[in-house]
Homo-oligomer: A and B are copies of this chain.
Amino acid sequence: MRTHQALAERTLERVLPAAELAPARLHQAMRYAVIGGGKRVRPLLAFAAGALVGAPLERVAMAGAAVELIHAYSLVHDDMPCMDDDTLRRGKPTVHVEYDEATALLVGDALQSLAFHVLAEQPLADDPAVQVEMLRLLAHAAGSRGMAGGQAIDLAAVGRTLDLGELEFMHIHKTGALIRCATLLGALCGRALTEAERSGLDRFARSIGLAFQVVDDLLDAEASTATLGKTAGKDAQANKPTYVTVLGARAAKEWARELRAQADAALVPLGPAAVRLGQLADFIVKREF
């Protein structure tokens, strides 16, 4: 896993424009927003899915970097004053604090463009039609029917009471779409999947995407700001519904374990080559709660 994390990091360093290239301040801020932070869960999922289908590492690294750039842009915009108004991210001042709001806005915008550029820049699949499909999947996962739509649902939910179904609908969009996309893109870099494999992988990705969010909610409620590297307790403070507020902490932990079990079951048709995906599921669910 460390090797893959390091490769993900190197790939991001390489695809981001150099800090001295004009417009230099924008490029510096883009690098500040992306490099040296995060667990790179999305690239790790891409690598693990790529391993299933013998995908060349350098292709999967590009696909994983593209998804991570979308994730990074969403954090920059999400931290802005008109959204969550947060000042700390991965233990550092957020981009609009370190630079300014206008720069944060442009950093997010340019990181989104860069994600698609990375996914289109070199051949990532033997069949270019598959690469077009990868680009379509990323655009869908990032857009109003995916991550950005999830953010909008999140905004509308502040101060309201959601039931479990509504909460799940929100997170399937907000976090789940991109996690699922990372997994599918990794797999599309290699040999074609059988229908049973693709469907198993998709079920795995959906379960693990939700599990990720349940654990995030638990961490926000229970861990300290120092451990998280971002402000803890923000959800409660912002009066946002979470798995912890909707289910209670104990049932939320139970739900994370149940989703983990569903993810495991989905891997069965994929056979022993799915071992990396299983390990990642553990990593995601067993973060420190």
Residues on A facing B (Cβ under 8 Å): 17, 22-23, 25-27, 30, 73-74, 77, 80, 82-83, 100-103, 105-106, 108-110, 112-117, 119-121, 123, 127-129, 131-133, 135-136, 138-140, 142-146, 148-149, 151-153, 155-156, 169
Q: Are A120 and B135 in contact (CB under 8 A)?
A: yes
- A133 to chain B: closest residue by CB: B120
Number of copies: 2
A23 with B153: in contact, given A83-B105, A108-B109, A113-B112 (CB under 8 Å)?
yes
Q: Are A105 and B132 in contact (CB under 8 A)?
A: no
Q: Are B116 and A138 in contact (CB under 8 A)?
A: yes
Q: Are B82 and A113 in contact (CB under 8 A)?
A: no
A144 with B108: in contact, given A116-B116, A135-B116 (CB under 8 Å)?
no
Q: Are A117 and B105 in contact (CB under 8 A)?
A: no
Max chain B Cβ within 10 angstroms of own Cβ: one of A77, A80, A110, A129: A110
**Bound-complex Cα distance A19 to B199 (A):** 31
A148 with B113: in contact, given A135-B120, A153-B23 (CB under 8 Å)?
yes
Q: Are B27 and A144 in contact (CB under 8 A)?
A: yes
